[in-house]
Amino acid sequence: MAETKSTCCYCGVGCGVIIEHSANKITGVRGDPTHPANFGRLCSKGAALHLTVVREGRALEPELRTRRDLARENVSWETAIDHAAEKFAQLIREHGPDAVAFYVSGQLLTEDYYVFNKLAKGLIGTNNIDSNSRLCMSSAVSGYKMTLGADSPPCSYEDIDHTDCLLISGSNTAFAHPVLFRRIEDAKAKNPDLKIIVIDPRRTDTAAFADLHLAILPGTDLVLHSALLHVLLWEGLTNNAYIQAYTDGFAALRDAVREITPAFAAQVCGVKADDIIQAARWFGNAKAALSMWCQGLNQSVHGSHNSASLVHLHLATGQIGRAGAGPFSLTGQPNAMGGREVGAMAGLMSGHRDMANATHRAEVAALWNVASVPVTPGKTAVEMFEAIRTGEIKAVWICCTNPAQSLPHQKLVREALEKAEFVVLQEAFRTTETAPYADLILPAATWGEKEGVVTNSERRITRLHRAVTPAGNAKPDWQIACDFAKALRLKMASNGAANNANLAYFDYQKAEDIFNEHASTTQGRDLDIAALTYTILAEQGAQQWPYNTVSGGAKRLFADGKFATANGRAQFVPIVLNTVAEATSAPYPLHLTTGRLRDQWHGMSRTGKAAQLFNHYDEATLGMHADDMQRRKFVDGDLVEVKSRRGKIIVRVQTDAQMRLGQTFLPMHFGRAHLSHSGANELMPANFDPFSKQPELKHAAIQVSGVSLPYQVMAMRLGGTAGESLHELALQRMAALQPLLQQFDYASIALAGRDDPAVVLRIGSKTPISAAQTQAIDTALHLDDDNCLSFKDGRRHIDKKALLQDGRLLGIRFCGEIAAGKWLRDIALEGVDTANLRRWVFAPVATPPANIGSTKGKTICSCNGVGEAAIINGVAAGMDLAGLQKNLNCGTGCGSCVPEIKRIIHLQRSAQYAA
Ligand code: SF4
């Protein structure tokens, strides 16, 4: 077995991993103990990375359709690239360079990003290149630039170890950045005096861990931050010497927050004034105050000011540039920052240069050896798809991202993709929601198959080494972009569309060549890595920017009080108080907030391949306060219709103790690959922040009503014949079911289990399930053979099948009556002996007979497969967390489940005392 160093390809913590591989196959993954982001730790997602390396669903060959009514066919790379170049050249010649666009991704490596940016801005001459980072970090960037003068997160992860007040605003760190949360837990354990304040509408695991949780109403962050500043001023906790020495604009902001008293903010935000005062005192009296934020602040129509208002707290108290102090944005994607470094967004330029600055544009043109680069900012994500919808942009090249799932107001996105004259999708997976719209799919290498660098939240650049060769005919993203650029250059030169076409070259031999060129563009800039090389990264490990060979990487920025603004002073900026884009109203009385699950990441195109990542949560479910449930006469598990001004979806509803009255929550991960509809983003508004252009993906006003879907289906299938990969088989069955989902009023599909994964299908329909639909389900699940037991009652539209083999239940397909579906699924996954099952398998009973039921319950510990029932029994037997870890092994892998185990202990003990 060989081992290769890389990073996890999910969140911006940027954990180092060691990929284990043998015979060109990835066989395992573990945390890199030497990597400073994680010191060997991984969360449940990172620890399951090797389980996502599958062939099923991979894009392996270029696929092309020359007309929309034709199916795509495999073609050679030469044909694919030539066709794309011809089409782009023609559209550029006929309509100008802004008729084409690139929508790229924070999951690309820096080298990939660099080439795409040079292709769009240097070769074609358009700034129409934007990244899905627009949905993620652009408000943080905008907030940093307004106040500090540059997109420069000033802190390091080790500041967590030095702070004595941690303010987390708009981040469920426990789920979204779990390895960092483990570090916060460690810091609290080492220093019980560390005060942790969490600002979040929900009582998440992060909030439950805090010393103080401010459960604000959605969108009121800005008012709360302003009230914190008010208290700091009122109580003399600001650092006037620092303000005078290093900042501008404080007097105006001080006057603006004069009226934002704790009492006023308490009313607007729905929290107690005393709690606001307490939070401000802890922050203002701290020796070192650290704040962290993520999408709760960024994905807002005032995300830039949300971010700036948090930075203001640090500038007003001088809590920046010191160990344990500073504002610290947590990056959502693994390389959102790398994309910003190379300037691969619609309003950015290479090396943090400014597009509006003629000198900077001339510098970039000179670096690229082109005549000029365009001055007008390009279309940002939401604007880009609207321009495609209106026909202003004719062709779009989508790379490593899934806009048909991730952008808000999905109906408009679908219209845009249908309207586009030419859609290229450069992807590792051909099964994403965007794939059906692609005229050309270009198979891209993915995690473990690529070489390059990424930059994590703390500005740390890690080199990724290639462990295995790309699957099929896939190629690294930078190489595809270079091949296309070279072909396009020739076409543009020959058809008169050439602008810079005869001057820009893309003759890189390897990723390192691109890195070296990128590094040279940063010389003298705030992110200077001109001295950094692949060799240094390989031999000395990951390094933070700015980097020099004498002192190495910079742990923190602005220690000298010199900021990246024109006059070198940090800026307090005027804040426009605002709440949400869409207020609740009589027809739409409930707040919908969105967020992440513990074990899934973004649109699930990768995490959705690992069965064990579904065991904690396997269906898009609307969380609702108990009183809101009761008022609407909902019971847990009901299917309900959720409607906003943009669309409606059907999901299951569940009482959620994390929710306040009038608020609901839906995870953002599930789209049409797993549901009969586009999930949360069908409902969300496309309104965006005027500065960062980041859309408000976090909030919509909704109504929720009951829906009658009397014809229900529950189907489950696992197992296969000897020699088959059970994992691949489960994915094949899931892929076969996916085209059926949209035939039903409600349908969801998930994986379950571990080593012998199951596919689980749930359907709700207003009309009886047809014989053809039943047959299609049976065929997809391999339940159409004669070995199945069956039961039919045509009068009541009941049609059931079950497959029992070798003492195991391997599958069910129940139409019309599904009461036993859940417990049958559980015993199938546990491999419970079915000797006594035959006479019960079609019984309409919601609980299993005593002698054959499952004992596990909901999976809590994903790493070690420990269920809720065992934990409850352990608590009843007197075990505490340490006892449960010792005896059941739960919470001893990645640790992501520890907050939930603690909650179960607390609930069980409370119940014991009450009894
Ligand atoms: Fe990956 Fe988890 Fe680390 Fe994020 S915290 S980089 S998802 S292992």
What atom of ligand 1 comes closest to residue 8's alpha carbon?
Answer: 1
As beta bridge partners, residue 758 has 752
**pLDDT above 80 for 914:** no
Q: What is the DSSP string of 472-535?
A: TT-B-HHHHHHHHHHHHHHHHHHHT--SSTTT-----SSHHHHHHHHHHHTTTSTT--TT--HH
16 lines ligand 1 (CB under 6 A): no
Angle between helices 303-317 and 221-234 (to 10 degrees): 20
What atom of ligand 1 comes closest to residue 42's alpha carbon?
Answer: 8
State if pTM tops 0.75. yes
* Angstrom distance (rounded) from CA 757 to CA 828: 10
Find the 287 Cα to ligand 1 centroid distance in Å.
Answer: 30
Q: Higher confidence at residue 657 or residue 724? A: 657
Tens of pLDDT, residues 500-553: 555 568 999 999 999 999 999 999 999 999 999 999 999 999 999 999 999 999
Cβ pair 801, 790 in contact under 8 A? yes
pLDDT of amino acid 722: 65
Lowest mean pLDDT among 158-167, 331-340, 386-395: 331-340
Q: Looking at residue 106, what DSSP letter applies?
A: T
Give the pLDDT mean for 689-717.
97
**pLDDT above 70 for 274:** yes
pLDDT of amino acid 859: 84
pLDDT of amino acid 851: 74
Give the pLDDT mean for 38-51.
96
Find the 451 Cα to ligand 1 centroid distance in Å.
Answer: 19
Q: Higher confidence at residue 758 or residue 912? A: 758
* Angstrom distance (rounded) from CA 262 to CA 272: 8
| Burial label, 306 (beta-carbon count in 10 A; 0-12, 13-18, 19+) | buried
179 lines ligand 1 (CB under 6 A): yes
Q: Which residue has the tokens 């960037």?
A: 141
Per-residue pLDDT band at 193 (split at 50, 70, 90): very high
Find the 174 Cα to ligand 1 centroid distance in Å.
Answer: 11
Residue of minimum CA distance from atom 2 in ligand 1: 43
Residue of minimum CA distance from atom 4 in ligand 1: 11
Cβ pair 829, 812 in contact under 8 A? no
Find the 758 Cα to ligand 1 centroid distance in Å.
Answer: 25
pLDDT of amino acid 724: 74
Give the pLDDT mean for 713-721.
92
What atom of ligand 1 comes closest to residue 31's alpha carbon?
Answer: 8
Question: What number of other Cβ atoms are within 10 A of residue 18's Cβ?
Answer: 18
Rounded to 5 degrees, φ, ψ at 478 are -60, -35
Find the 44 Cα to ligand 1 centroid distance in Å.
Answer: 8
Per-residue pLDDT band at 855 (split at 50, 70, 90): low
Q: In what order do the strands lie in the sheet with 808-815?
A: 746-752, 758-765, 711-717, 808-815, 798-805, 789-793
Share of the chain above pLDDT 70, in %: 98
pLDDT of amino acid 143: 98
pLDDT of amino acid 89: 96
* Angstrom distance (rounded) from CA 15 to CA 419: 40
Q: Which residues of 551-576 are buried (b: 16+ CB within 10 A; e: fewer)?
A: eebbbbbbeeeebbbeeebbbbbebe
Tens of pLDDT, residues 558-614: 999 999 999 999 999 999 999 999 999 999 999 999 999 999 999 999 999 999 999
Tens of pLDDT, residues 197-242: 999 999 999 999 999 999 999 999 999 999 999 999 999 999 999 9
Which residue from 14, 17, 26, 6 is spatially nearest to 47, judged by alpha carbons? 17
Cβ pair 637, 654 in contact under 8 A? yes
Find the 36 Cα to ligand 1 centroid distance in Å.
Answer: 13
Task: State whether residue 426 is helix, strand or coil.
Answer: strand
Per-residue pLDDT band at 723 (split at 50, 70, 90): low
Tens of pLDDT, residues 299-319: 999 999 999 999 999 999 999
Tens of pLDDT, residues 785-823: 788 999 999 899 999 999 999 889 999 999 999 999 999
Cβ pair 17, 42 in contact under 8 A? yes
Mean pLDDT of the chain: 95
pLDDT of amino acid 497: 58
**pLDDT above 60 for 499:** no
370 lines ligand 1 (CB under 6 A): no
447 lines ligand 1 (CB under 6 A): no
863 lines ligand 1 (CB under 6 A): no
Find the 863 Cα to ligand 1 centroid distance in Å.
Answer: 14
Q: Strand 460-464 vs strand 452-455: parallel, antiparallel, or unpaired?
A: antiparallel
Which residue from 155, 133, 104 is spatially nearest to 299, judged by alpha carbons? 133
pLDDT of amino acid 720: 85
pLDDT of amino acid 39: 97
* Angstrom distance (rounded) from CA 166 to CA 168: 6
**pLDDT above 70 for 168:** yes
What atom of ligand 1 comes closest to residue 17's alpha carbon?
Answer: 8
For the CA atoms of 162, 168, 174, 176, the dihedral, rounded to the nearest 10 degrees, stands at -110
Find the 115 Cα to ligand 1 centroid distance in Å.
Answer: 26
Cβ pair 168, 206 in contact under 8 A? yes
178 lines ligand 1 (CB under 6 A): yes
What atom of ligand 1 comes closest to residue 11's alpha carbon?
Answer: 4
Residue of minimum CA distance from atom 5 in ligand 1: 179
**pLDDT above 70 for 674:** yes
9 lines ligand 1 (CB under 6 A): no
Find the 11 Cα to ligand 1 centroid distance in Å.
Answer: 5
The Cα angle at residue 73 between residues 393 and 95, in degrees rounded to 5: 20
pLDDT of amino acid 498: 57
Tens of pLDDT, residues 359-370: 999 999 999 989
| Burial label, 660 (beta-carbon count in 10 A; 0-12, 13-18, 19+) | middle
399 lines ligand 1 (CB under 6 A): no
Helices (H), 166-290: 173-176, 178-190, 205-209, 221-234, 240-246, 250-256, 262-269, 273-285
Angle between helices 77-95 and 477-495 (to 10 degrees): 50
pLDDT of amino acid 511: 98
Find the 179 Cα to ligand 1 centroid distance in Å.
Answer: 6
